[in-house]
Chains A and B, each alone.
Chain A
Amino acid sequence: MNIFYRLSLLIPLFSLLTHAQVQLVGTGATFPAVIYSKWFDEYRNTTGIQINYQPIGSGGGIRQIIEGTVDFGASDGPMTDRQLSDAKSKQGTGILHIPTVMGAVVVCYHIPGLGKGLNLDSRALSDIYIGRITMWDDPYIKNLNPESNLPHRAVLVAHRSDGSGTTFIFTDYLSKISSEWASKIGRGTSVNWPVGLGGKGNDGVAGLVKQTEGSVGYVELAYAIKNNIPYADIKNQSGYFIEPTFSSVSAAAMAASVNMPSDLRVSITDPPGKGSYPISGFTWLLVYQNMKNETKAKALVNFLKWAMSRGQALAAGLYYVPLPASIIKLCNNKINLITANGKKIK
């Protein structure tokens, strides 16, 4: 039995004790994972409450909140009515959508001899992604960029191969501005692309565009900045070419907040307003309106309030766009609706 004796020496390694503590568990979107990990770390440092967030994808987050295996979910696309009623029948409570930060989807490109500042509009984008514009010196693109020297090169289209909130925002935009796109391809976290190469994840698409001359792709702003890939200015509803920046994305949210639906499930692509960047969106935390565990409910509500105030200040440093004040007010109203076993949380 010598061997069992030796193996038993390993047991202390496995039985390290921990202090008992409330821990909240959440899963979902990968896009906000970086800011969430920062938030939850900061929040733990100030309050001692542990919130464990795991980025498994928006679809996964929605699925888990319906099944009730997590304390909260997260998604870049709002839940559908069907999913909401599913959750209600399985968990016996409604689900609230709380926007946390915003992100911009940028159209990045790799054209030899061309740096920043390519101008594109909605028709150019939909034609490129449908496969009608195949050359960079296409007259339509030339017309938008009279000063740029566009080469006679084939356009190589890159898109996501996996399901993603980024794809949802991008196709949501294309569906709004092109009836052809809306009827043939539509919006979704993954769609049937007519042309192009697929890359896995934002990093996959960024890598494809970086390596391939003549390519164009769509990624979250942070990936374009971090990979030093130039991205296009997009013409908005009012006819201005807008560079994706924090202020132009904020402007889009403010323009959209005027007609905000009461459940905050809103798409802010193609918004009105002179300074609005047209391809951006919220990312949401999905929380149960009525939670069964009072300690957890209290911790979650306090965290959400913290995220709306102190948390927003941390967003910009990590390339996330903070929420404008008007939206924060709406969020706080929503947060106050959360109850524990039917009772309000003080």
Chain B
Amino acid sequence: MKHRNYFLYRKKTTNVIMMSLTVIAALAAVIPLFLIFYYTLSKGIAYLNLNFFIAMPKPVGEPGGGMANAIVGTLILIGIGGAIGIPVGIMTGTYLSEFGKNKFGFMVRFLTDVLSGVPSIVVGVVAYTMVVIPMKHFSALAGGIALGILMIPTITRTTEEMIKLVPHSLREAGLALGIPKWKTTIAIVLRTAWKGIATGVLLGLSRAAGETAPLLFTALGNRFWSTKIMQPIASLTVYIYDYSKSPFEDWNQQAWTAALVLIILISVLSLLFRFVTRSKYKSD
């Protein structure tokens, strides 16, 4: 009897040790996020008021001023990026999972992985050469295209993985009822995997919203109010980049607030997505 107790005891201790190690690891993964949030909040809260959301930037030395143009600009940029990146990403992911079990599929999968490793500034330079130089103009469109390209790999890979999780029996049921494969894919497979795909889309959009490098030579930035897609447009990240380097305390402060607003913006976007996807599947 004593012998068995000893093994039980050892099992339990190992369990507790391993358990606490994983808890520590989980905490270590979350702590940086809270530190970032806490630091941005404590530094940026000073300028966070309604004015920041509805007023235009002021030059150095004049108190107040906001970043209304940059907030709308960031939304427009990820809107254009999404209009390009989301359909391409979802369709590529669907193709890879449903039809891509061949050489071409392998190649596309490999290239998508390569694309996700390409530094964002390189994508910016590509958009600059392909869009800005021929059009002779910096534009929101060029920035959106750069962001769209950046979204594609994230969305493609999540879509593919999510669709793979859809049970085969569902596909077989559809086909058994005589529904053609393309219709099964759209009406059954994509619908079932929708929640997961939305998460991928959200990841893609959040990544794009936080990018500075690909915007510097495409969307450029704008000190004035502009929502035209053929004109340079402001973005929060470019403002953060410019203002944080300034010798003037006032602008440094606003850079912190802009960072805070960007975090809030992405959180709101995330909540919105949760809301959209959850209500559709109330019955789950």
Q: Chain B 220-250 against A: per-residue CB contact (8 Å), 1 yes, 0 no?
A: 1111111110011000001000100111110
Q: How far is the CA of A68 from the CA of B133 in the complex (A)?
A: 8
Q: Shortest beta-carbon distance, B269 to chain A, in Å?
A: 10
In order of increasing CB-CB distance, the 4 nearest A-B pairs are A38-B59, A226-B247, A54-B221, A41-B59
Partner of A14, one of B79, B225, B279: B79
Q: Cβ of B122: which chain A residues have Cβ within 8 Å of it? A: none
Q: How far is the CA of A42 from the CA of B227 in the complex (A)?
A: 22
Q: Cβ of B217: which chain A residues have Cβ within 8 Å of it? A: 56, 60
14 contacts between A and B (CB under 8 A): A7-B276, A14-B76, A15-B227, A34-B246, A37-B59, A37-B223, A41-B58, A41-B59, A52-B222, A52-B232, A55-B242, A69-B138, A203-B245, A227-B247
Q: Cβ of B126: which chain A residues have Cβ within 8 Å of it? A: none
Q: How far is the CA of A79 from the CA of B226 in the complex (A)?
A: 31
Are A18 and B133 in contact, with the CB atoms below 8 A? no
Question: Is there a chain B Cβ closer than 8 Å to A30's Cβ?
Answer: yes
Are B247 and A203 in contact, with the CB atoms below 8 A? yes
Question: Is there a chain A Cβ closer than 8 Å to B136's Cβ?
Answer: yes
Partner of B225, one of A6, A18, A70: A18
Q: Which of A55-84 contact B (CB under 8 A)?
A: 55-56, 60, 67-70
Q: Cβ of A50: which chain B residues have Cβ within 8 Å of it? A: 224
Q: Shortest beta-carbon distance, B68 to chain A, in Å?
A: 10
Q: Shortest beta-carbon distance, A13 to chain B, in Å?
A: 6
Question: Is there a chain B Cβ closer than 8 Å to A313's Cβ?
Answer: no
Are B75 and A14 in contact, with the CB atoms below 8 A? yes
Question: Is there a chain A Cβ closer than 8 Å to B18's Cβ?
Answer: no
Question: Is there a chain A Cβ closer than 8 Å to B209's Cβ?
Answer: no
Are A3 and B280 in contact, with the CB atoms below 8 A? yes
Q: How far is the CA of A226 from the CA of B242 in the complex (A)?
A: 17
Q: Which residue of B lies closest to A54 (CB)?
A: B221
The count of chain A contact residues (Cβ–Cβ below 8 Å) is: 46
Question: Is there a chain B Cβ closer than 8 Å to A201's Cβ?
Answer: yes
Given A37-B59, A55-B242, A67-B133, is A18 in contact with B216 using a C-beta cutoff of 8 Å?
no
Q: Cβ of A52: which chain B residues have Cβ within 8 Å of it? A: 220-224, 226, 232
Partner of A2, one of B58, B72, B216, B280: B280
Q: Shortest beta-carbon distance, B85 to chain A, in Å?
A: 15
Q: How far is the CA of A78 from the CA of B223 in the complex (A)?
A: 26
Q: Cβ of A67: which chain B residues have Cβ within 8 Å of it? A: 133, 136
Q: Which residue of B lies closest to A25 (CB)?
A: B232
Q: Chain A 80-109 against B: per-residue CB contact (8 Å), 1 yes, 0 no?
A: 000000000000000000000000000000
Q: Chain B 53-76 against A: per-residue CB contact (8 Å), 1 yes, 0 no?
A: 000001111000000000010011
Q: Which residue of B lies closest to A23 (CB)?
A: B231
Are B280 and A226 in contact, with the CB atoms below 8 A? no
Are A23 and B224 in contact, with the CB atoms below 8 A? yes
Partner of A18, one of B137, B227, B279: B227
Given A68-B136, A202-B247, is A17 in contact with B227 using a C-beta cutoff of 8 Å?
yes
